Amino acid sequence: MTSISIIVPTFGRADRIERVARNIHGSTTTPHEILFVYESEDEATKEAIDQVAMLLDHRTFAMYAIKNIHKKNYAGAVQSGFNESIGSLLFLGADDLDFSMDWDTPCVSLMKEEGVSVVGTNDLHNQGVLEGWHATHYLIDRSYLSRVGGVIDVGPGSVNYLGYDHNYPDTEFIETASHRGVFRPCLESVVEHRHFVFGLAAKDSTYEKGYAKLNEDAALFESRRHLWAYGQGNQ
């Protein structure tokens, strides 16, 4: 049976947990679990996840608090979530998204087409997303990660490259999937990214932390791009 593990890395935003959980569960029609991944020092967020989990009806879905045991960044949190997940599909989310009703149905349908392992949703704002060649948040077939992994020079079991401080893991993942011919955009599936750069959220300390090493992340990305951009990666 098809099921989705929705991985939501979160840090310093305990007040968002209930809204995010209710939005995901109320908008997702496929059987699913929500894995909020927190950092060990962020006790307020862990407490909020546990409290919200007690409020919700778990007869139709599951919700868990997962501690990030990898590098303290988005990619590390995603890896920790993946390692604890059970869904046949995974969605890499965030705590500043707004899931539209039945967002998952067109993605799951597209995933059934031959050769498709990664399906990008429509965040409504990123130009690359709107043009159909990029995705900031996306659905992944678990078997793809188990077979070849999302990171070319790490291999099976990998999702995002852990070396970035915060920026570019999605870009590397999607470019790698595109190089392998397994990525498809699904613009009818709307999962809006309500990010401060689009004027949809306040710039808080979590956003500031994420942008602190933007230039270093960009340089790292360019240094790695030869792995997939010039056909040297495994298929």
* Domain coordinates in residue numbering, the chain: 4-229
Token pair 């500031």 is at which residue? 208
Read off the pLDDT of residues 1-17 as tens digits, 9 standing for 90 and up: 899 999 999 999 999 99
The CATH architecture annotation of domain 4-229 reads Alpha-Beta Complex (3.90)
Q: What are phi and psi of 73, to 5 degrees?
A: -155, 180
Read off the pLDDT of residues 66-86 as tens digits, 9 standing for 90 and up: 999 999 999 999 999 999 999
Question: How far is the C-alpha of 104 from the C-alpha of 4, rounded, in Å?
Answer: 9
pLDDT block averages, 10 residues each, the chain of length 235:
96 96 96 97 96 81 94 97 98 97 98 97 97 98 98 98 97 98 98 84 83 95 92 45
pLDDT of residue 135: 98
Q: Hey, what amino acid is at 21?
A: A
